[in-house]
């Protein structure tokens, strides 16, 4: 088994911007199931915490999407959540936090590249969320999750069956006119860490709709979604 030192714990907790009251939770979250096979006897590892963390993560992001997209139906919300929570995304979060360097592995797992394995990183990240939940409760775990997923959430626009709203709007408009839609930044307010952008989409000099978002790209996509909705409503009148 690969040990982890107290200094390693301290460095990792600085990176997490969270200090555990009970570091046993952190240790367990980093303990890979391979140690059970190496010890040849039942040993605690992170799979139970992974199960718990997965549930906490799902609840936090579900609530966030429910509030972000008040008009979205169940299917749309499920698709949105799937974009945020998948094996690739979870592994990326685990890698960004450098969890691989701190995993407690069997020698065999260590020698076969276990620290870089996407499944191990994803599992450790979810186990970490479960550990924070047990150590400090739901509100603290929610704060950590929202901080980790802030960029993805801000870029996420209402799917409503539209995978590429800007592309779909351009295709719709250019079926009637050779002119492409133009996007104009209306405003950008707020501090650098929490900006809010408002963009308008225009066609042939006429404003079709406006949208908002935490980035210019997100605001443009939101404007495109609104424009598509307006055009479809006009068509149905």
Digitized pLDDT (tens) for each residue of the chain, 237 residues in all: 445 555 678 889 999 999 999 999 999 999 999 888 766 656 789 999 999 999 999 999 999 999 988 877 787 888 889 889 999 999 999 999 999 999 999 888 888 888 999 999 999 999 999 999 999 999 999 999 999 999 999 888 765 556 688 988 998 898 888 889 999 999 999 887 778 999 999 999 999 999 998 889 989 999 999 999 888 777 664
- The residue from 54, 64, 135, 222 that is catalytic is 54
User: Is 213:157 a contact under the CB 8 Å cutoff?
Assistant: yes
Given this model, what pLDDT does residue 237 score? 46
- The residue from 50, 109, 126, 135 that is catalytic is 126
Given this model, what pLDDT does residue 50 score? 96
Classify 31 as helix, strand or coil.
strand
Given this model, what pLDDT does residue 236 score? 60
Given this model, what pLDDT does residue 165 score? 86
Render the burial of 32-47: b for 16+ CB within 10 Å, e for the rest.
Answer: bbbbbebeeeeeebbe
State the pTM of this model.
0.66
Q: Going by C-beta distance under 8 Å and a sequence separation of 6 or more, which residues neighbour residue 26? A: 9, 12, 13, 20, 128, 131, 135
Domains, the chain, in order of start with CATH, read 6-155 (1.10.1520.10), 165-236 (3.30.160.20)
Given this model, what pLDDT does residue 23 score? 93
Q: Going by C-beta distance under 8 Å and a sequence separation of 6 or more, which residues neighbour residue 65? A: 72, 77, 80, 81, 84, 156
126 part of the active site: yes
H-helix segments, 105-208: 107-111, 118-136, 138-148, 150-155, 165-174
d(CA 35, CA 30): 11
Distances (CA, A) of 36 to 31, 45, 118, 178, 191: 10, 8, 20, 65, 49
Given this model, what pLDDT does residue 7 score? 62
Given this model, what pLDDT does residue 133 score? 98
Sign of the dihedral through C-alpha 214, 80, 17, 7: negative
Classify 94 as helix, strand or coil.
helix
């Amino acid at each position: 088994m690969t040990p982890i030192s107290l200094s390693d714990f301290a460095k990792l907790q600085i990176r997490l911007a969270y200090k555990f009251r009970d570091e046993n939770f952190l240790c367990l979250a980093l303990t890979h199931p391979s140690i059970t096979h190496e010890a040849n006897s039942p040993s605690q590892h992170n799979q139970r915490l992974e199960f718990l963390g997965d549930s906490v993560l799902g609840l936090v992001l579900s609530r966030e999407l429910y509030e972000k997209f008040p008009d979205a139906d169940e299917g749309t919300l499920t698709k949105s959540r799937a974009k945020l929570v998948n094996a690739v995304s979870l592994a990326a979060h685990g890698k960004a936090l450098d969890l691989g360097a701190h995993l407690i592995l069997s020698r065999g797992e260590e020698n076969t590249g276990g620290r870089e394995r996407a499944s191990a990183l994803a599992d450790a990240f979810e186990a970490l969320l479960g550990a924070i939940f047990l150590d400090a409760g739901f509100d603290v775990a929610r704060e950590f999750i929202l901080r980790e997923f802030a960029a993805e959430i801000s870029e996420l626009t209402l799917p409503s069956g539209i995978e590429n709203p800007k592309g779909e709007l351009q295709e719709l408009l250019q079926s009637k006119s050779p002119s492409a839609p133009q996007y104009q930044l209306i405003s950008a307010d707020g501090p650098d860490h929490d900006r809010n952008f408002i963009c308008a989409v225009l066609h042939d000099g006429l404003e079709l709709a406006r949208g908002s978002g935490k980035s210019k790209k997100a605001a443009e996509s939101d404007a495109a979604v609104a424009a598509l909705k307006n055009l479809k409503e006009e068509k149905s009148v």
